[in-house]
Structure 1
């Protein structure tokens, strides 16, 4: 159903979902019943989903997949099923009396100006700005002290705001710009090249671009990455041959030069290319999974541009930061689980010749550079610490931050005299600061006027013990007049995978949640990158249960320490975090009252057969890998562990019809399984956004609608009847 879904009347929808010779169907409806205590509860009657007879055999074990037909995103039957489920869900949400009030509160809280850090390109200073409720940030520019003018307005890309700006890159002299757009949140992109003075297009757009940067070679052309157009569904078909191309301006895309990929020897799922700022080197990264990559360089100034290998295996992460002449500066976790920065000459760039410039420490390192300096951005228990270095590896200073939280930025061109960084935490809206790299002085550049007073809130970090004795950090944020009496509505949010670190950041939705008296808790569970490679690998493949145990232990800590109770606890996470929620709610259905798995990976036996899913095998393993791995995946796969007659938490699965990262079939089949085996009075619903994707580029209006529905559903199923 990756096409606009037509709203149908209920009878027609249900009839379309099940042919006449299949099981009798019933219309979907939501009614209310009064309990003996006088309160009102919702009674949900689900549309009956057709059960097919598909059975797969894995290592002589048969596994039924009765809802396999929901994987067909182009079928009318799937589209009708989506319409029926959305009708049921929105009917249910429509009965929540305070839903409109919450939406209004979120919209009001969201309505504040936001301005990004300025950056110089050619004769102009550019910056991003949103006046509050605009669906997308507008790119402005100005010359000197002149009046800012609109350069690109993504709000005009489509009438409904579902086409977004997905990338912007300027040629070295700023006379040209290439920008990418995403329609409906899809990972597929279209690149347009424009003359920045005339704003006229230069040549035809580039299509079939996916998982790609845009890197200029002088003012003559750009490097970009693409897959071949799938033979089947553009939004679910497997894509595993990524290729790097060079496009010369004013030439047909069909004549673009294949730089890397496209052969058995160079077949990789993820390929990218970036030209160094001085234009000398092209760095090419090639990988088959989301962890570990090969690295190559091409000297673009040489008479014969040859591909030179820096790292020829995918055992570690390695990336080129920058160069100084022939000296390359490389960040890597090779022989350094917490990362280090090394230098090497391009004439002999193999790891045997690497020399540490910034050695590994006990804290995870990420580096950036600007104004002729290197900035070491460390994570210390998931919060930021910044150190400044020169290119000889000498420490210049520690940079004082505005508080305890997350700092980002500290990057720019080598000739910049001012750099910018952002700072935020769970109770501090993101502000931008100007930094003088020569003196170390910092001053506030922009602070948003948000109707939110951080002094009225608490954000505390605690450490708790997981099942195997591992200490896990968690940040708990709430209004400072909250009493720890076990009665507080609480959202426990987690991710736990792919080396992703959850560092403190402000969210309008979470601010409204806390203002309503809710607690927001985020544990830094294993599988993430908060403590480096070892922390990540402690939560992958046959260590994946550690991730779920860490999340369960976080919930138990909140309950045992009277922050909340099971009746007032909601589990929330998206993508890999959706898997987390799905696994925990099926393993421990009594732990929480509400579950919100968003765009989740929920069918662990088949995830690798869709789009670029096979690239996630480093974290998950696959059902085809070995019998042992198959058994392990089957043991926690949310779809395969829904049991008949169990009272699962009140669940609202969220997904989108254009999600081509984690295809919505995961969510569709999980919802169908929950509804078919429902054994309690809690609703098992699915909310499917139309003309939206995995989350990136979603317009503000849709974000607010979804947030309001999630908070309303959560509070309503915790027994809240009004906000008074």
Structure 2
């Protein structure tokens, strides 16, 4: 057989199509005879070789596909106009929620077009900000991103992690707060880890160094907790905990603010954990298990007079706050501080001797101030329907910071005075465009099985319901994640041009607690796809749009959503935009952290689950001779969360089996990962391509 690169340039072996006088020549992708036996069922995997991200053949394939995609996108006459508008919309100051660290206030800020936000520090509310860390100086192209960070309790040291080129792998560094001097400390192969100080060192989680060439694809096993003392090398770090009996578990360590307790969380997936506590003020103390895993979630909020205030859905699908005494951890000794109510208790923090609890009511946030013993005092006033992030603060702080955002209001930072129950704006971005001519409404539509599902719809005021409006339908539906209102500069392009943004809150998310989450997992995963398809049908029935103007989009688990829906109902959508999606549902658990998703998805290793998964796995449900929507698959070469092989194999199969004039392309970003920390320049490049592709294939001009 000829080498792949010869196949790629041979005109006789190239498939092509013509759309709007634009020709797309797809590279012919080599097929092999790989077949797997799953519980007696033979499943072909002809593009298995694309899983090898280090092979020359795969790299040649990526170059060939990118070349075809770039030729198509660069020929769109209005792409540059879209990019210019995106740059203008994007260019406004963006602030992160500040937090206090002793006498200091630390916050992030991006002036507008900087690739990465800069971290600033100032003394008190009136101090002059100075740069604490500028990630833009770590790499020349802005692909180094700040991850976790923490200040030592004495305010002397600042530890921070850096991810490069979008990978989940992080390195931890230490600097002096006062002088900004970078110390010699460097910790490698950190992943899924916080940084939690105790005295002159901190706890973190890491894996053993992978073999060369396996960094971005090897299954992550044997997570460990270490303690690093400032001024020492990594090989001197103390191993705090490991469990060789269970290689597929993750461990995280945090220290309570008073440094009395070390809290360890053990997880076997993405939801549910066991909880352990160790008294750091007792010599030779060992970990004590205070909550069994892995049916429920337990998160320690604070140490209150020797008892742990814990946020949990144990005995409360929509969460409650309880107190656990580490000296008497048996559940009969647990006491409830704040009971479960009809709204989901998303988070809690202790600030100024009070509890600030944030709830979610029909996918919008409200926050409430409680006394330390759980008595409701005040509801905290916010600007309206939207998302509250934060609050930040410690028990001794007199005020807290939080942020608020909506679909039409960029993130605004507030300072909340606990004693006065009053909020004041700390920072608010100034825009050179107006958002006042847009409106947001929430509807509740009926899914296939009769379940009522909420959906936000955003559009220009005065929209005509004539069935001709372009609609961008975005969803996720998994892992207990809620899609609450958020401002997106990128989506303003769509809204400005009269597009409708629709975001349904699908089952599998956390919008209505654990029951809502479970209803979209395992052998009920089809509910998620039914909810999304029903949202599209609702928008058509209500005369917002029609199938020729309907775009579906989603990333990661949302990429799976788009892949499943476009294969189940290819007639319903005109454009499909699956980003960094989980497309091969039979093999996802064999790469990096994929094993942790089996709690939501199940696994092909289980016979019953295999039969169910096979029915919706996007890769395995592409059929020859079907006219699929115009599709732009997006992924990145350094995505070690959902490895790019998912998108590679899906795109190759789609190009093989699809018929008709709709283009089906794949855009593979270089030096980027799953999405977190992606530099501004790359975000704008990608959105320019996505919107250009979308507008062109809807027959719209810009």
Confirm whether residue 273 of structure 1 aligns to residue 260 of structure 2: no
Match of 2:608 among 610, 623, 628: 628
Residue 277 of structure 2 aligns to a residue whose secondary structure is strand
Q: Could you say which residue in structure 2 is the equivalent of 1:195?
A: 176
Q: Could you say which residue in structure 1 is the equivalent of 2:231?
A: 250
Confirm whether residue 147 of structure 1 aligns to residue 134 of structure 2: no
How far off its partner does 1:24 sit? Answer: 6.5
Match of 1:205 among 186, 189, 198: 186
Whether the 8 Å CA contact 2:163–2:170 is kept in 1: the answer is: yes
Residue 667 of structure 1 aligns to a residue whose secondary structure is helix
Confirm whether residue 170 of structure 1 aligns to residue 155 of structure 2: no
How far off its partner does 1:15 sit? Answer: 7.6
Alignment root-mean-square deviation, CA: 1.8
In 1: Cα distance, 2:540 partner to 2:22 partner: 26
In 2: Cα distance, 1:649 partner to 1:575 partner: 19
Confirm whether residue 599 of structure 1 aligns to residue 586 of structure 2: no
In 2: Cα distance, 1:260 partner to 1:125 partner: 33
Q: Could you say which residue in structure 2 is the equivalent of 1:566?
A: 547
Whether the 8 Å CA contact 2:100–2:393 is kept in 1: the answer is: no
How far off its partner does 1:78 sit? Answer: 0.4
- Residues 375-416 of structure 1: CA distance to partner in whole angstroms, max 9, x if unpaired? 221111101121111111111111111111111112202222
How far off its partner does 1:123 sit? Answer: 4.1
Q: Could you say which residue in structure 1 is the equivalent of 2:289?
A: 309
In 2: Cα distance, 1:57 partner to 1:248 partner: 50
Evaluate the alpha carbon distance shift between residue 419 and residue 458 of structure 1 in structure 2; reply closer, same or farther with a 3 A threshold: same
Evaluate the alpha carbon distance shift between residue 29 and residue 137 of structure 1 in structure 2; reply closer, same or farther with a 3 A threshold: farther
Q: How do residues 95-494 of structure 1 correspond to structure 2 at under 5 angstroms?
A: 95-143=75-123, 145-218=126-199, 220-231=200-211, 233-264=214-245, 267-369=247-349, 370-494=351-475
- Residues 187-236 of structure 1: CA distance to partner in whole angstroms, max 9, x if unpaired? 00000011122323333300000000000012x11100011122351101
Confirm whether residue 17 of structure 1 aligns to residue 4 of structure 2: yes
In 2: Cα distance, 1:28 partner to 1:612 partner: 36
Under a length normalisation based on structure 2, what TM-score does the superposition of the two structures give? 0.97
Q: Structure 1: which 4+ aligned runs deviate by more than 3 Å?
A: 22-33, 143-147
- Residues 469-501 of structure 1: CA distance to partner in whole angstroms, max 9, x if unpaired? 000000000111321111111110000000000
- Residues 264-293 of structure 1: CA distance to partner in whole angstroms, max 9, x if unpaired? 1x6452210000000000000001111111
More divergent stretch after superposition (645-654 vs 251-260): 251-260
How far off its partner does 1:122 sit? Answer: 4.3
Whether the 8 Å CA contact 1:261–1:267 is kept in 2: the answer is: no
Evaluate the alpha carbon distance shift between residue 596 and residue 441 of structure 1 in structure 2; reply closer, same or farther with a 3 A threshold: same
Confirm whether residue 531 of structure 1 aligns to residue 512 of structure 2: yes
How far off its partner does 1:41 sit? Answer: 4.4
Match of 1:506 among 476, 483, 487: 487
In 2: Cα distance, 1:61 partner to 1:27 partner: 32
Under a length normalisation based on structure 1, what TM-score does the superposition of the two structures give? 0.94
- Residues 636-656 of structure 1: CA distance to partner in whole angstroms, max 9, x if unpaired? 100000000100000000000
Whether the 8 Å CA contact 1:203–1:249 is kept in 2: the answer is: no
Residue 674 of structure 1 aligns to a residue whose secondary structure is helix
Whether the 8 Å CA contact 2:262–2:280 is kept in 1: the answer is: yes
Whether the 8 Å CA contact 1:477–1:521 is kept in 2: the answer is: yes
Whether the 8 Å CA contact 1:28–1:84 is kept in 2: the answer is: no
Evaluate the alpha carbon distance shift between residue 686 and residue 26 of structure 1 in structure 2; reply closer, same or farther with a 3 A threshold: farther
Residue 455 of structure 1 aligns to a residue whose secondary structure is coil
In 2: Cα distance, 1:442 partner to 1:196 partner: 29
Residue 427 of structure 1 aligns to a residue whose secondary structure is coil
| Structure 1 residues not aligned, in runs of 5+ | 1-13, 34-39
Q: Could you say which residue in structure 2 is the equivalent of 1:5?
A: none
Confirm whether residue 519 of structure 1 aligns to residue 500 of structure 2: yes
In 1: Cα distance, 2:576 partner to 2:409 partner: 27
Residue 454 of structure 1 aligns to a residue whose secondary structure is coil
Match of 1:612 among 566, 590, 593: 593
How far off its partner does 1:241 sit? Answer: 1.5
More divergent stretch after superposition (112-121 vs 478-487): 112-121
Residue 184 of structure 2 aligns to a residue whose secondary structure is coil
- Residues 106-153 of structure 1: CA distance to partner in whole angstroms, max 9, x if unpaired? 110010112334333344332211111000111122335453221110
In 1: Cα distance, 2:615 partner to 2:573 partner: 21
- Residues 278-331 of structure 1: CA distance to partner in whole angstroms, max 9, x if unpaired? 000000000111111100000000022211111132111111111123111011
In 2: Cα distance, 1:373 partner to 1:341 partner: 13
Q: Could you say which residue in structure 2 is the equivalent of 1:71?
A: 51
| Structure 2 residues not aligned, in runs of 5+ | none
In 1: Cα distance, 2:17 partner to 2:504 partner: 37
Q: Could you say which residue in structure 2 is the equivalent of 1:669?
A: 649
Residue 386 of structure 1 aligns to a residue whose secondary structure is strand
Q: Could you say which residue in structure 1 is the equivalent of 2:38?
A: 58
Evaluate the alpha carbon distance shift between residue 139 and residue 367 of structure 1 in structure 2; reply closer, same or farther with a 3 A threshold: same
In 1: Cα distance, 2:539 partner to 2:304 partner: 51
In 2: Cα distance, 1:657 partner to 1:647 partner: 29
How far off its partner does 1:517 sit? Answer: 1.1
Whether the 8 Å CA contact 2:73–2:689 is kept in 1: the answer is: yes
More divergent stretch after superposition (123-132 vs 181-190): 123-132
In 1: Cα distance, 2:425 partner to 2:646 partner: 45
Evaluate the alpha carbon distance shift between residue 624 and residue 25 of structure 1 in structure 2; reply closer, same or farther with a 3 A threshold: farther
Whether the 8 Å CA contact 2:94–2:411 is kept in 1: the answer is: no
Match of 2:28 among 34, 37, 48: 48
In 1: Cα distance, 2:162 partner to 2:519 partner: 37
How far off its partner does 1:669 sit? Answer: 0.1
Q: Give the count of matched residue pairs.
A: 699
More divergent stretch after superposition (427-436 vs 539-548): 427-436
